[in-house]
């Protein structure tokens, strides 16, 4: 989110975030029950990897831990200010979150109006919708409380649950830095991070009794695990690896990438494997930072992936609304008409619809990045902070 002095590490990491966000977009398409009911055949890339791409949310958590700690521990530890840190976090996430929340509100009101006027030509379950998208859940979403145990269901802009979990994890991290700063010992940040990562895992397993990381209620525990593993990852790789041979460096990066892809592909067979994901993702991201001159970081630094990475937050936050519209479109067209397209080639209708969905998400995310994320961040910083602050960019 903030411009950093050490740019070499950020370009490939941002690109990884962009690719992961795109995988989450496809995941929600192939996992959509309304689309499965409307489409005659599955899309051509409707495979296990994308069905399990929910796991990339944990990569986001690990990556956030790396980026935030690099900014505020390695670079700004002695001058860390909790108020400025919190303001920057709010400026980064709130403008787009609020805009999308009200976009969903406008959509729900429009749908209610059309239903009352009997202008929708297919049935909708308004009662079930109002059970989750109501005033209580709206207020919880406004204050980013919806992943903190006050709701046991997804509501409004569903993917924003992870933003809720991250925001309050940021505050805990800020408190850790302040405490370590006042005690005058920077290594305490990593001691506390290790404790919090273990605590997150313990709460998930022994208190929440979850056997998988695929959950959104009380998701701050899931974020604790990933985020503070990210903080420890940065500590582990800092200043290491320069004497390792180029072959070993490349082998570490490619090996970690292969393990991550395989893990995502097979986690559906036993979701308890998801608990190793933060470590695997940490190894992948850590290897990219430790060996920035190898082929994989260079490939991740090509312009299209850099573009994608900068818009990753917008991609993640806007795609649910586009998906709802795609679902309505498919239901309105009907399975019979879609079958005509599939008669040309099985799966063609779903694959074309997926391509339209992804394209629409990229177009909208580019607009929200340029007109909501960036100016919104600057507006919040100017509004609440009269002191000079760095320009905000999408780097975290």
Q: Which two tokens stand for residue 289?
A: 């930072």
Q: Does pLDDT of 344 surpass 50?
A: yes
Q: Does pLDDT of 380 surpass 80?
A: yes
- In angstroms, the CA 267 to CA 271 distance is 5
User: How many C-beta neighbours within 10 Å does residue 261 have?
Assistant: 13
- In angstroms, the CA 73 to CA 69 distance is 5
pLDDT tens readout for residues 117-141: 665 555 556 566 678 888 999 999 9
> SS in 3 state form for 272-326?
HHHHHHHHHHHHHHHHHHHCCCCHHHHHCCCHHHHHHHHCHHHHHHHHHHHHHHH
pLDDT score at 201: 94
Q: Mean pLDDT of all residues in the chain?
A: 88
Confidence of residue 384 (pLDDT cuts 50, 70, 90): confident
- In angstroms, the CA 15 to CA 11 distance is 6
Q: Which residues contact 263 (CB under 8 A, 6 or more apart)?
A: 55, 273, 276, 277, 280
Average pLDDT over residues 61-67: 95
Q: Does pLDDT of 241 surpass 70?
A: no
Q: Does pLDDT of 388 surpass 60?
A: no
Q: Does pLDDT of 202 surpass 50?
A: yes
> Residue 302 — φ and ψ, nearest 5°?
-70, 155
% of the chain residues with pLDDT over 90: 63
Residue 2 in contact with residue 395, Cβ under 8 Å? yes
Residue 316 in contact with residue 1, Cβ under 8 Å? no
Terminal alpha carbon distance of the chain: 4
Confidence of residue 9 (pLDDT cuts 50, 70, 90): very low
pLDDT tens readout for residues 168-182: 999 999 999 999 888
Average pLDDT over residues 140-161: 91
């Amino acid at each position: 989110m903030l411009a950093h002095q050490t740019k070499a590490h950020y370009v490939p990491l941002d690109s990884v975030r962009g690719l992961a966000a795109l995988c989450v977009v496809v995941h929600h398409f192939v996992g959509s029950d309304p689309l499965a009911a409307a489409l005659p055949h599955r899309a051509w890339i409707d495979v296990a990897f994308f069905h399990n791409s929910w796991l990339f949310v944990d990569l986001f958590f690990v990556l956030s831990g790396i980026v935030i700690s690099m900014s505020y521990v390695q670079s700004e530890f002695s001058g860390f200010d909790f108020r400025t840190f919190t303001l920057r976090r709010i400026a980064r996430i709130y403008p787009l979150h609020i805009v999308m929340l009200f976009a969903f509100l406008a959509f729900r009101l429009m749908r209610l109006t059309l239903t009352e006027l009997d202008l929708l030509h297919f049935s909708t379950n308004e009662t079930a919708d109002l059970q989750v998208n109501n005033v209580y859940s709206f207020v919880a979403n406004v204050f980013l409380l919806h992943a903190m145990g006050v709701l046991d269901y997804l509501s409004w802009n569903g993917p924003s649950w992870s933003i809720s979990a991250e925001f309050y994890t940021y505050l805990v991290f800020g408190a850790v830095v302040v405490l370590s700063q006042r005690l005058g010992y920077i290594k305490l940040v990593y001691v506390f991070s290790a404790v919090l990562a273990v605590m997150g895992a313990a709460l998930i397993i022994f208190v929440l009794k979850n056997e998988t990381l695929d959950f959104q209620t009380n998701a701050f525990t899931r974020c604790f695990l990933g985020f503070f593993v990210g903080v420890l990852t940065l500590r582990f790789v800092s200043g290491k690896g320069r004497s390792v041979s180029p072959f070993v460096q490349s082998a570490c990066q490619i090996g970690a990438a292969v393990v991550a892809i395989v893990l995502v592909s097979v986690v559906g067979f036993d979701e308890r494997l998801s608990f190793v994901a933060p470590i695997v993702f940490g190894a992948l991201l850590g290897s990219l930072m430790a060996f920035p001159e190898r082929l994989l970081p260079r490939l991740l630094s090509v312009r299209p992936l850099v573009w994608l990475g900068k818009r990753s937050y917008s991609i993640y936050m806007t795609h649910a609304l586009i998906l709802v519209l795609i679902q309505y479109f498919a239901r309105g067209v009907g399975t019979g008409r879609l079958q005509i397209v599939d008669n040309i080639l099985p799966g063609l209708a779903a694959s074309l619809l997926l391509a339209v969905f992804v394209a629409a998400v990229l177009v909208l995310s580019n607009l929200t990045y340029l007109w909501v994320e960036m100016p919104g961040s600057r507006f919040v910083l100017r509004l609440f902070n009269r002191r000079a602050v760095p320009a905000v960019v999408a780097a975290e």
